[in-house]
Chains A and B, each alone.
Chain A
């Protein structure tokens, strides 16, 4: 056996030569194979080790679609837990471009389902050209149940198309307190730039006005996300995990729906423009905050049309302005309480000081008229407030001086913002000599003090300030910050924030003066010649004051009946009051723009609010 093998080996050795040369070239082939093996291993190293993490991310991005789950926005309740604003689910149709195959055909097929034109759909996609391809482009909002059911059942026919749930607001009392609650809208580019990117992204719905904006952080909740695995065609294979959205916090307002409704219905019925504010005297809780005319909140759902927006801007009654705080007016005679308090506190008058009113008062070389041209005769403080005698207050004001008036105006909360949770609050104005020099670049004229004393000069007051002042008078000098939010409750029922009265300042040691003024204010309603006798409610002691704020002094309209004066030149009517006089609970202020005299234009509305507020407690409800 061995020898046989040996023989063969010898034979092959002899045969070598040419075959050997050929076999030598096999080494080159082996070299080639090694070279490519090394290249392949290096390439694998590059792909899997050097760039492995990067490719892993790309593989993840390939297969995982993160879907935003919008949280239901916090509900808004009234003080008695009545739901004012809640949500309902709405279903939107969106397109994920990245997942879409054969987009042209998909759009052609889905257009009739959505009852839209193909061109319209393309336009939406074109408009969203900034949107990254993996984010949804909204094609149609709030589709009906049938469309939803069809799309869900035929989802494999529409690659890249999906339906999303978006909670939308439901307004249970329609436009009630619309200017206070505000509305929602899509986040704008500017808002997005400054917003926290971790919270907001394009297409989000956020609070645009009112409490919806101011309390955005409480109301919005936290978004949830679902992570689902998709195949190469974008169809979902399985849900990987879901982080449920956290519903927004509920906000319970201090407002009372019943009172608010009564006040709004009166304003609407009379097509009145103005504001109604009611406040708890001892806490600062706002019970009513009406701005009329109101915006129609449903116009804003899904974005307001240009025409409607323009109509709102052009409306002479300015529905976009929240007149509770965003408009200020001369206080008229309601300012006389300030003048009286300043006079008493400065010692220039007491309860028994009497001035004679012949119907006018001459100061310098000018004659200042009393509203009652025939004159009030001898007038003490009680009668001066009750019958609103201008001549009396001209003299008090003159003796106190404008700076003294301003000092007490400010103590009663005028001339500065109340700090209520409303946007663009005006501070109003309690004029001083310095103010005039600084802002009007002119010296104070003493005659101007007389106008200020009866509320007709430079003074400006917001309806909220007036109400706050009334409450401060009623409670004997405690100025509470008006507040709108009773409680903030999170989705698990925990109370995040609870109302507590916030005392801004307190006037002390002037109780007897307050009492004198308050007796005068009772005369306004209950006195024989009171200027607001029509507001009286049997069984309820009300204290109040009317006011008429001159809009312009135009000679041609002097002596005309108010009804004959063009609307925009008519005086504003104020009425402010509190009740019950013996133990005040509620202060109500009504301002009717161009609303004639306060007693006739504004009084009935305040009376209706009081009637409602005390309805359970009054033995007889006096109906007008």
Chain B
């Protein structure tokens, strides 16, 4: 099972690792500022996040150690496990803010919807690589991928966690469009998505979810609610100006004007303290990591490797875009974290696992494909 090859070490990608470390270090310092001054109760978030990073890095190493081809066989058992965890979260999970998302493990509250995102990437990559159709997938070919996406999608929607559920949809669309569909399939899928959207608005969305969307469309309607959060975030980022207010000097964050400032709005703190210059450096590094990920896909040795690397990049990319758009006032508050930057163990672990897959694909680009059986 473990085919440790000398070339594995030769092909270990130092650039990828360096970029991951750079982003994580900036994120760590930012988290320190976002949770400063410490309330004095419990472990400060930045310390917890440091532990999670160590655990995440261990997971990263673990993922790198086996050939990603093994995932073809591990895929469905893991898929089943995640679905089970999602059901447990829904039935016996801890709730907060009207949503039931967490499984309390004592030392750590697991949010199974986070690994579910990565699980979907792996599952779809595995499915589309095994079922290779080069002249475009027809609608009947998508029944299984839709079902694979639909099950966790519905479970997460029931929590309810609209943002993460939509994230699964976006992963599905990103991966499916990437493997190429028939023209007719695009039309049918588009129509179905539209119908589902209408149905969801009428029947499925909870009032607070509708409220968020309405607030976004008309922020003045609710100046102290979600519109207020977005406004405070824009003020935080905007007031950073050219060079920022300086590390630990951001007033919007430290005086609690910023909501969720160490989780979803963590980048607002960075923008406020480091200004345009610092933001460009940070976003630049972050996107360089994404490009490097696409580069990994480009040089992957087989279809599964390409789809896996591409899927992981898209998973991080879309979360980052949605999070940054929310912070900069382009989107309503949707509860999507900025991977590697926002505080949260589940998200960090998931992202590190994903990056581990990226490294895995990278390191095995020159190996002969495993014979399929």
For B280, the chain A residues whose CB sits under 8 A away are: 41, 44
Where the two chains meet, the residues of B that have a C-beta atom closer than 8 Å to any C-beta of A are 132, 134, 178-180, 232, 234-242, 251-252, 255-257, 271-272, 275-276, 279-280, 283, 287, 290-291, 294, 297-298, 301-303, 306-307, 310, 313-314, 317, 321, 324-325, 328-330, 366, 368
Q: Are B242 and A63 neighbours in the complex by a CB distance under 8 Å?
A: no
With both chains docked as a complex, state the minimum distance between the C-beta of A297 and any C-beta of chain B, in angstroms: 46
Give the 3 A-B CB pairs with smallest separation, nearest first: A55-B238, A59-B239, A52-B241
Given contacts A29-B310, A29-B314, A48-B240, contact A232 B256 (CB under 8 A): yes
Which of B134, B242, B255, B313 has the most C-beta atoms of chain A within 10 angstroms of its own C-beta?
B255
Q: Are B306 and A44 neighbours in the complex by a CB distance under 8 Å?
A: no
What is the bound-complex CA distance between A5 and B178, given in angstroms?
Answer: 30
Given contacts A29-B294, A33-B294, A63-B257, contact A41 B238 (CB under 8 A): no
A interface majority secondary structure: helix
For B257, the chain A residues whose CB sits under 8 A away are: 59, 62-63, 231-232
For A45, the chain B residues whose CB sits under 8 A away are: 276
Contacting A26 at CB < 8 Å: which of B237, B241, B297? B297
Q: A615 near B: Cβ within 8 Å? A: no
For B271, the chain A residues whose CB sits under 8 A away are: 44, 47-48
For A53, the chain B residues whose CB sits under 8 A away are: 241
Q: Are A33 and B290 neighbours in the complex by a CB distance under 8 Å?
A: yes
For B317, the chain A residues whose CB sits under 8 A away are: 33, 36
Q: Are A41 and B283 neighbours in the complex by a CB distance under 8 Å?
A: yes
Q: Are A37 and B287 neighbours in the complex by a CB distance under 8 Å?
A: yes
Chain B residue nearest in CB terms to A28 = B178
With both chains docked as a complex, state the minimum distance between the C-beta of A342 and any C-beta of chain B, in angstroms: 79
For B290, the chain A residues whose CB sits under 8 A away are: 33
Q: A30 near B: Cβ within 8 Å? A: yes
Q: Are A49 and B255 neighbours in the complex by a CB distance under 8 Å?
A: no
For A22, the chain B residues whose CB sits under 8 A away are: 178-179, 303, 306-307
Q: Are A49 and B287 neighbours in the complex by a CB distance under 8 Å?
A: no
What is the bound-complex CA distance between A59 and B257, given in angstroms?
Answer: 9
Q: Are A230 and B240 neighbours in the complex by a CB distance under 8 Å?
A: no
For A231, the chain B residues whose CB sits under 8 A away are: 255-257
Q: Are A44 and B328 neighbours in the complex by a CB distance under 8 Å?
A: yes
Which of A18, A45, A52, A237 has the most C-beta atoms of chain B within 10 angstroms of its own C-beta?
A52
For B306, the chain A residues whose CB sits under 8 A away are: 19, 22-23, 26
For A23, the chain B residues whose CB sits under 8 A away are: 297-298, 306
Given contacts A33-B290, A229-B251, A230-B255, contact A25 B178 (CB under 8 A): yes
Contacting residues of chain A (36-79) with chain B, CB-CB under 8 angstroms = 36-37, 40-41, 43-45, 47-49, 51-56, 58-60, 62-63
Q: Are A55 and B239 neighbours in the complex by a CB distance under 8 Å?
A: yes
Q: Other than the known A21-B134, A47-B237, A58-B235, what 12 A-B pairs have Cβ atoms closer than 8 Å?
A: A18-B134, A21-B180, A26-B294, A26-B306, A33-B287, A49-B276, A58-B239, A59-B239, A60-B239, A231-B256, A232-B257, A237-B255
Q: Are A8 and B238 neighbours in the complex by a CB distance under 8 Å?
A: no
What is the bound-complex CA distance between A59 and B239, given in angstroms?
Answer: 6
Chain B residue nearest in CB terms to A21 = B134
Contacting B301 at CB < 8 Å: which of A12, A26, A51, A63? A12
Interface flags for A1-34 (1: CB within 8 Å of B; 0: not) read: 0000100100110010011011101100110010
What is the bound-complex CA distance between A25 and B180, given in angstroms?
Answer: 9
Q: Are B239 and A37 neighbours in the complex by a CB distance under 8 Å?
A: no
With both chains docked as a complex, state the minimum distance between the C-beta of A234 and any C-beta of chain B, in angstroms: 10
10 residue pairs bridging A and B, Cβ less than 8 Å apart: A18-B303, A22-B179, A29-B313, A33-B287, A47-B271, A48-B279, A52-B241, A56-B238, A59-B272, A233-B256
Q: Are A40 and B240 neighbours in the complex by a CB distance under 8 Å?
A: no
Q: Are B328 and A47 neighbours in the complex by a CB distance under 8 Å?
A: yes
What is the bound-complex CA distance between A54 and B237, given in angstroms?
Answer: 12
What is the bound-complex CA distance between A52 and B279, given in angstroms?
Answer: 13
For B307, the chain A residues whose CB sits under 8 A away are: 22
With both chains docked as a complex, state the minimum distance between the C-beta of B218 and any C-beta of chain A, in angstroms: 20
With both chains docked as a complex, state the minimum distance between the C-beta of B289 and any C-beta of chain A, in angstroms: 11
Given contacts A25-B180, A49-B242, A62-B235, contact A40 B328 (CB under 8 A): yes
Q: Are B132 and A59 neighbours in the complex by a CB distance under 8 Å?
A: no
What is the bound-complex CA distance between A43 and B327, given in angstroms?
Answer: 11
Which of B238, B290, B291 has the most C-beta atoms of chain A within 10 angstroms of its own C-beta?
B238
For B239, the chain A residues whose CB sits under 8 A away are: 52, 55-56, 58-60
With both chains docked as a complex, state the minimum distance between the C-beta of A23 and any C-beta of chain B, in angstroms: 6
Chain B residue nearest in CB terms to A230 = B255
Interface flags for A226-243 (1: CB within 8 Å of B; 0: not) read: 000111110001000000
Given contacts A22-B179, A47-B328, contact A62 B132 (CB under 8 A): no
What is the bound-complex CA distance between A575 and B197, given in angstroms?
Answer: 99
For A29, the chain B residues whose CB sits under 8 A away are: 178, 294, 297, 310, 313-314
Q: Are B255 and A62 neighbours in the complex by a CB distance under 8 Å?
A: yes
Chain B residue nearest in CB terms to A232 = B256
Chain B residue nearest in CB terms to A18 = B134
Q: Are B291 and A11 neighbours in the complex by a CB distance under 8 Å?
A: no
What is the bound-complex CA distance between A81 and B269, given in angstroms?
Answer: 60
Chain A residue nearest in CB terms to B297 = A26
With both chains docked as a complex, state the minimum distance between the C-beta of A161 and any C-beta of chain B, in angstroms: 18
For B272, the chain A residues whose CB sits under 8 A away are: 59
Chain A residue nearest in CB terms to B277 = A48
Q: Are A229 and B283 neighbours in the complex by a CB distance under 8 Å?
A: no
Given contacts A5-B366, A52-B242, A63-B257, contact A33 B291 (CB under 8 A): yes
What is the bound-complex CA distance between A19 and B271, given in angstroms?
Answer: 41
What is the bound-complex CA distance between A23 and B294, given in angstroms?
Answer: 10
Chain A residue nearest in CB terms to B321 = A36
Q: Are B242 and A48 neighbours in the complex by a CB distance under 8 Å?
A: yes
Q: Are A26 and B252 neighbours in the complex by a CB distance under 8 Å?
A: no
What is the bound-complex CA distance between A59 and B132, given in angstroms?
Answer: 55
Q: Are B236 and A19 neighbours in the complex by a CB distance under 8 Å?
A: no
Q: Are B328 and A43 neighbours in the complex by a CB distance under 8 Å?
A: yes
What is the bound-complex CA distance between A30 and B276, given in angstroms?
Answer: 24
Contacting A63 at CB < 8 Å: which of B255, B283, B310? B255
What is the bound-complex CA distance between A25 and B232, given in angstroms?
Answer: 39
With both chains docked as a complex, state the minimum distance between the C-beta of B2 and any C-beta of chain A, in angstroms: 21
With both chains docked as a complex, state the minimum distance between the C-beta of B86 and any C-beta of chain A, in angstroms: 28
What is the bound-complex CA distance between A427 and B328, given in angstroms?
Answer: 71
Q: Are A48 and B276 neighbours in the complex by a CB distance under 8 Å?
A: yes
Contacting residues of chain A (161-211) with chain B, CB-CB under 8 angstroms = none
With both chains docked as a complex, state the minimum distance between the C-beta of A466 and any C-beta of chain B, in angstroms: 67
What is the bound-complex CA distance between A58 and B256, given in angstroms?
Answer: 15
Q: Are A47 and B234 neighbours in the complex by a CB distance under 8 Å?
A: yes
Q: Are B252 and A62 neighbours in the complex by a CB distance under 8 Å?
A: yes
Q: Are B303 and A54 neighbours in the complex by a CB distance under 8 Å?
A: no
For A52, the chain B residues whose CB sits under 8 A away are: 238-242, 276
With both chains docked as a complex, state the minimum distance between the C-beta of B189 and any C-beta of chain A, in angstroms: 17
With both chains docked as a complex, state the minimum distance between the C-beta of B139 and any C-beta of chain A, in angstroms: 20
Q: Are A51 and B238 neighbours in the complex by a CB distance under 8 Å?
A: yes
Which of A29, A41, A45, A52 has the most C-beta atoms of chain B within 10 angstroms of its own C-beta?
A29
Chain A residue nearest in CB terms to B128 = A22
Given contacts A30-B294, A48-B238, A49-B242, contact A11 B368 (CB under 8 A): yes
For B302, the chain A residues whose CB sits under 8 A away are: 15, 19
For B238, the chain A residues whose CB sits under 8 A away are: 47-48, 51-52, 54-56, 58-59
For A56, the chain B residues whose CB sits under 8 A away are: 238-239, 241
Chain B residue nearest in CB terms to A59 = B239
For A59, the chain B residues whose CB sits under 8 A away are: 235-236, 238-239, 251-252, 257, 272
Contacting residues of chain A (207-262) with chain B, CB-CB under 8 angstroms = 229-233, 237
What is the bound-complex CA distance between A54 and B279, given in angstroms?
Answer: 18
What is the bound-complex CA distance between A36 and B290, given in angstroms?
Answer: 12
Which of B241, B290, B303 has the most C-beta atoms of chain A within 10 angstroms of its own C-beta?
B241
Q: Are B240 and A229 neighbours in the complex by a CB distance under 8 Å?
A: no
Given contacts A26-B306, A48-B242, contact A40 B256 (CB under 8 A): no
What is the bound-complex CA distance between A459 and B240, given in angstroms?
Answer: 77
For B297, the chain A residues whose CB sits under 8 A away are: 23, 26, 29
For B232, the chain A residues whose CB sits under 8 A away are: 62, 232
For B325, the chain A residues whose CB sits under 8 A away are: 40
